[in-house]
Structure 1
Amino acid sequence: MNVSSLIDFAANTPAPERYLPTAEKILAGQPEQTVYNHYSSPQGEFSAGVWEGEVGQWQVNYTEHEYCEIVQGVSVIRDQDGNARTVRAGDRFVIPAGFRGTWEVLEACRKVYVIYEPK
């Protein structure tokens, strides 16, 4: 491989994938989400891109490890015990596989994500 193999997010905008969490996971609002997946490894274990979420709240159950960098908006992530963390533009963090709780978007949110999910 050479430098032409690099994935430049600014130069390449993939088609948007729009979706809602399944009805039984939605706790509030109509949290439409959009993913721009810029890269997936050949085996499907690793991916990176941009995610956008509209106001609302839904249940999450992470089977993957995810690095997040919030670039716009405000969200609250709660664990199953009700502990909460507010994340906003400039915050960077990892959600480990096995995390269960809720994600609530307070202001339309945009994040860069990197996901690793062992097969």
Structure 2
Amino acid sequence: MTIEQILDFAHASTAPEYYHPAPEKILAGDPEQSVRNHYGSPCGQFNAGIWEGAVGQWTVSYSEHEYCEILEGVSVLRDARGNAKTVRAGDRFVIPAGFEGTWEVLQACRKVYVIFEPAAH
């Protein structure tokens, strides 16, 4: 490996992929999302990039571990019991695999994500 293989997000030219959550997962709004997956490991278990989401709410079920750093906007994460955590620009946190609940974007949100997907057993 050489220094040229280090990926600098500020200079990455990854094209965005636009999508919506599956219709049965959408609870409110029209939460269009985009992802720029700047790095994917050869084994497919590790990914990192930039995610953006429009105002709306949808259900989530994490099979992966995800580190998030909110760059812009405000979102509310709710667990299956209804407990809520508001996250906004500057917040950094990890969502462990197994988390189930909802993600609600209150103000258009942009985050850095780093995902580790455990191997299937």
Q: What SS does structure 1 have at the residue aligned with 2:86?
A: strand
What is the match of residue 104 of structure 1? 104
**Partner secondary structure for residue 31 of structure 1:** coil
> What TM-score results when the alignment is normalised by the length of structure 2?
0.97
**Distance in 2 between the 1:32 and 1:79 partners?**
22
Q: After alignment, is 81-90 or 5-14 more displaced?
A: 5-14
Shift of 1:13: 2.0
Q: CA RMSD in A?
A: 0.4
Whether 1:6 aligns to 2:6 is: yes
The secondary structure found in structure 1 opposite 2:18 is strand
- The code of the aligned residue for 1:73 comes to G
> Which ranges in structure 2 are unaligned for 5 or more consecutive residues?
none
Measure the CA separation in 1 of the matches of 2:42 and 2:69: 24
% identical aligned pairs = 70
* Distance in 1 separating the partners of 2:89 and 2:25: 25
Question: Could you say which residue in structure 1 is the equivalent of 2:117?
Answer: 117
Moved more, 10-19 or 77-86: 10-19
Q: Aligned residues, how many?
A: 119
> Within the alignment, does 1:43 sit opposite 2:28 as a pair?
no
**Stretches of 4+ aligned residues off by more than 4 angstroms:** none
TM-score, normalised to structure 1, is 0.99
Q: Deviations over 1:37-71 (max 9, x none)?
A: 00000010000000000000000000000000000
In the TM superposition, residue 12 of structure 1 has moved relative to its aligned partner by: 1.2
What's 2:18 paired with? 18
Aligned residue identity for 1:33: Q
- Measured in 1, the distance between the counterparts of 2:77 and 2:13 equals 28
Please state whether the residue corresponding to 1:10 is helix, strand or coil. helix
The amino acid that maps onto 1:104 is E
Residue 21 of structure 1 aligns to which amino acid in structure 2? P
Q: Deviations over 1:21-52 (max 9, x none)?
A: 00000000000000000000001000000000
